[in-house]
Amino acid sequence: MSDTLVRTEGISKSFSSVEVLSDISVSIRSGEILGLVGENGAGKSTFVKILSGIYQPTNGTIEFAGKRVEIRGPIQAKALGISMIPQEFNLVEHMNVYENVFLGDEIRRPNGLLDRKAMISRTRELMSELGVDVDPEASIIGLSVAKKQMVEIAKAIKAESRLLIMDEPSTVLMTHEIDILYRIMRTLKERGTSIIYISHKLQEVKTICDRVMVLRDGQFICLEETASMATEEIARSMVGRTLSQIFPEKKMGSGEIALELSGVCVSNVLHDISFDLRHGEILGFSGLIGAGRTELAETILGIRKMNAGTIKIDGKPVTVRNPRDAIRAGISYVSEDRQGSGIITSFGVDKNVTLVSLEKYARPFIQRRKELEKTDFYVKRFNIKTTSLDKIMEQLSGGNQQKVSLAKSLDVDPRILIFDEPTRGIDIKAKSDIYAFIRELADQGMAVIIISSEMEEVMGMCTRILVMKDGYIAGTLSGERINEEEIISLATGIKGVAQ
């Protein structure tokens, strides 16, 4: 076909003796948005890493723009016009925003020197196009996860690619930011750019994608026009069976107050934050990029220093100077940035599970059998797909890495658990399992906070939602007021007390 940009024939990939992708033969049209879906470990990331030159196929061929090609690395892929926004960020944290956007493709003056002014100006234009307030000269290390995602998107737009691969680009974005992302995608499509869009959010796939391709256990299942498949049918194709209700029944927290914040302030970040959380309650935090949700969690954990205010746990004032103090006080945290602060990718599954709780296994030497037994418990409990308990984390899919991060946070036996984007990069079946487990923890008396950019998630799981804007709590929602319109109104400042 003349409008085919990419064609694969019999693409397979094995690691050692384990085949993770088998005989994938598909055609991708010029100027189409192709949704790629499947459970964690289905082979999605492996397939697009082959197209972007990160992996080499064990078998099979690739045609690009009508010519047979062997994509030996990301540099060759970029030369062909293939760019990828990875699920895990590919940014140099100690460089600033514009340096990352132009890394390897710097603008130079006629004398060969870098034209920093031109790169800063172009980066500012890209950020304006994305509708996000990011200083081109800001350091990457100081940005929120959502703003880092926008930098990755800016890099891809700047490259003017013929094929753009987006791996879970919306997982940390609110509805407003997702609308901007869609607008950019449609503009690129009109210019003839093909987009592969990987997402676990099936309603997004229905909204933005022309066709949807389903993988399961490394096998090709189907490739259909999106309009011809209902979300339920897509989900059934992904897991091979019908899914039950994804969210468990809501219950009010009826225990004593577990955590109480009064007048908490952090310079230029948080302003007069006051709320309480009961044992058995699941409390949600919502808001746009930069609203202060993650910064609030970091303050509770002692990562950020308070300028004013008090924190009480079970009615007693506490001083939390660092995460170790928080753990001793009974607080644990599941990070939104799993590879940045949730896990160590060069360690095995077992060493990550016990990373924070290692003193439990030292008597005085590490009790290796006990450590492996506990790791095996979590692997079975969360259905973590790994060939061994000591398998290196970087060889696991993003969703399975997130499950290990959750296991690590639970292994310190917390009484208060803060989930920051708990289902980022996790498929619909695993989401249902995680939600049920969070509900189970709350039923056992644990106090739970869920910070999420997915409104459906906080609405489906939480009996109260605190909406943040510009470092303030703009309002509290409960009962019938928990709906998308109310959340957006508070998050954008249409309603609420944010200053």
- Confidence label for 425 from pLDDT (cuts 50, 70 and 90): low
Element (H or E) spanning 195, and its range? Answer: strand 194-198
Rounded Cα distance between 97 and 138, Å, is 6
310-363 confidence digits (pLDDT tens): 999 999 999 999 999 999 999 999 887 766 667 888 899 999 998 888 888 887
Element (H or E) spanning 7, and its range? Answer: strand 4-15
pLDDT at residue 498, rounded to an integer? 42
Count of C-beta atoms within a 10 Å radius of residue 238: 22
| Mean pLDDT of the chain, nearest integer | 88
Q: What are phi and psi of 211, to 5 degrees?
A: -130, 160
439-471 confidence digits (pLDDT tens): 999 999 999 999 998 888 899 999 999 999 989
Name the nearest CA neighbour of 488 among 292, 480, 472, 477.
477
Cis peptide preceding 364, ω within 30 of 0: yes
Helix ranges (DSSP H) in 81-219: 97-101, 116-129, 145-159, 175-190, 202-208
Q: What is the 3-state secondary structure (H, E, C) of 196-234?
A: EEECCCHHHHHHHCCEEEEEECCEEEEEEEHHHCCHHHH
CA 287 vs CA 232, 252, 453: distances in Å: 29, 22, 7
End-to-end Cα separation, the chain, in angstroms = 57
Rounded Cα distance between 195 and 163, Å, is 6
Q: Is 306 exposed, middle or buried (0-12, 13-18, 19+ CB in 10 A)?
A: buried
Helix 231-239 / helix 428-443 crossing angle, nearest 10 deg: 90
pLDDT at residue 446, rounded to an integer? 94
pLDDT at residue 241, rounded to an integer? 56
pLDDT at residue 497, rounded to an integer? 55
Helix 398-410 / helix 368-381 crossing angle, nearest 10 deg: 120
Helix 428-443 / helix 398-410 crossing angle, nearest 10 deg: 10
For residue 318, the one-letter residue type is: V
- Confidence label for 242 from pLDDT (cuts 50, 70 and 90): low
Q: How many residues does the chain have?
A: 499
For residue 177, the one-letter residue type is: E
Helix 484-491 / helix 175-190 crossing angle, nearest 10 deg: 90
Tell me the mean pLDDT in the region 28-45: 89
Residues with Cβ within 8 Å of 204's Cβ and at least 6 positions away in sequence, in order, are 170, 178, 197
Tell me the mean pLDDT in the region 24-36: 95
pLDDT at residue 499, rounded to an integer? 41
Asked if the model's pLDDT at residue 496 lies above 70, the reply is no
Q: DSSP for 353-390?
A: HTTTTGGGGBSSSB-HHHHHHHHHHHHHHTT---SSTT
In this structure, what DSSP letter does residue 130 have?
T
- Confidence label for 270 from pLDDT (cuts 50, 70 and 90): very high
Rounded Cα distance between 319 and 325, Å, is 8
Number of H helices, E strands in the chain: 16, 20
Asked if the model's pLDDT at residue 428 lies above 80, the reply is no
163-204 confidence digits (pLDDT tens): 999 988 887 777 777 888 898 889 889 989 999 999 888 888
The residue ranking higher by pLDDT, 465 or 157, is: 465
75-103 confidence digits (pLDDT tens): 899 899 999 888 777 889 889 999 999 99
CA 277 vs CA 314, 318, 363: distances in Å: 10, 15, 36
pLDDT at residue 81, rounded to an integer? 92
pLDDT at residue 1, rounded to an integer? 39
pTM: 0.63
Tell me the mean pLDDT in the region 376-390: 89
92-151 confidence digits (pLDDT tens): 988 999 999 999 889 999 998 999 999 999 999 998 888 788 899 999 988 887 788 889
Rounded Cα distance between 448 and 431, Å, is 16
pLDDT at residue 438, rounded to an integer? 92
The residue ranking higher by pLDDT, 228 or 489, is: 228
For residue 324, the Cα-to-chain-centroid distance in whole angstroms is 25
